[in-house]
Amino acid sequence: MRIKSLLFWAFSLLVPAISFADEAKLDTGDTAWMITATALVVLMTVGGLILFYGGMTRYKNIVNTVMMVLMAYAIAIVVWFLWGYSMAFTDGYGALDAIVGGFGKFLMNGVDYKALSGTYPEWVFATFQSTFAAITIALAAGAVIERMKFSTWLVFVILWITFVYAPIAHVVWGGGFLFDAGALDFAGGTVVHINAGVTGLVLALLLGKRKDYKKTAILPSSVVLTALGAGLLWFGWFGFNAGSAFGANEVAGVALLTTNLATAAAVISWVLIEWITAKKPTLLGAASGAIAGLVAITPAAGFVNAAGALIIGFIAGIVGWFGVYVLKKALGYDDSLDAFGVHGMAGIWGALATGFFALQPLAWDGSPLQNGDRMGQIIVQVESILFTIVFTAIMTAILYFVSSLLTGGARVDEETETMGLDEATHGERGFNL
């Protein structure tokens, strides 16, 4: 009897410990990594993308290009914490939850600073996600620089984060219908890159071509700046992809390796095909290949092995080159810095390739792939690609016309375009030589 009492007493002491182990608990290692990953994504935008885009544009528009990226980042961050985060990552109202969340966390309302998202603070998660929203719209700027009014762009950014990015993020990541269907997007192939690429393409088509497009040589101000920007983007992308493991864990290690390998493979393939077709390997091509590889591996980074990453990256360089030098020429649109050619095309390839190369042990719980349904996963990936393209294209067109109406037209006048937007709009020069 005494032995039974002692066993009961020992068990009663263990129960609270067992219950406590099952509760969410702050992990300082995960928290430190997620803060670091967030800082790396910030560097991608306000460091890497600024240099990458700034070097690609003409010297008379470099200040305007940098301002478009910088202001897009700043505005997106503010809009995100006002209502974007809530719309993306809270439950929506009734049937609308399939597309968009609600406003229960407006300005982080009701979210205590000690509240956790997994093993780290929700405030850290919200900040990490804010950088994704910001870089997505900043990427789209590359399609319209040198001819879009600065005021129109600022209004468009506010509307776009609200009515395009937040719903797409909710649909794929925040509990919407593609999330429920098991769509795999590890770090933003659909949410970020297809979204940004399609947005840029629609804006470029609606704005029309630059007045001297295909009439005079349009030379980048500095391919060296662009290469430096690509290097910073490559560096920061480890936070983008490995950070999307949401912890200092083995999946982050998978994403680290696959991101680096795929990017290197894409640099090689882009330079090779450029060397074969144009007889000269260029620094701009190598830098563009790096971005194509980074984009393509993003949706697959935590789901594939080294062999899958190598294939995805190598093909990404070819797909990106095709988008820039074949597709754009065939269709005749003026995508200034090839936002669609690189991000849109490589993003589509990466999202599709995820369905082909994702490994079951690395897939998130509940995905169709874990049930052994490879074809079912590919179909879901195609659905996510098509939904993102259609939704983004329609909403972007609507928001463009609204922004244009509110700012008295979206395009600068011919005199401003000839002079360059740096002096005409900002009263500054990027280089005073």
Please tell me the predicted confidence (pLDDT) of residue 372. Answer: 65
Please tell me the predicted confidence (pLDDT) of residue 82. Answer: 98
Please tell me the predicted confidence (pLDDT) of residue 38. Answer: 98
Give per-10-residue mean pLDDT for the chain (433 aa): 38 38 80 98 97 96 98 98 98 94 96 96 98 98 97 98 98 96 95 98 97 91 97 98 97 96 98 97 98 98 95 98 96 95 98 92 52 84 98 98 97 95 95 81
The verdict on pTM exceeding 0.85 is: yes
Q: Does domain 26-426 have CATH number 1.10.20.10?
A: no
Exposed, middle or buried by CB within 10 Å (0-12, 13-18, 19+), for 323?
buried
Query: What residue segments make up the domains of the chain, in order of their start?
Result: 26-426
Please tell me the predicted confidence (pLDDT) of residue 23. Answer: 63
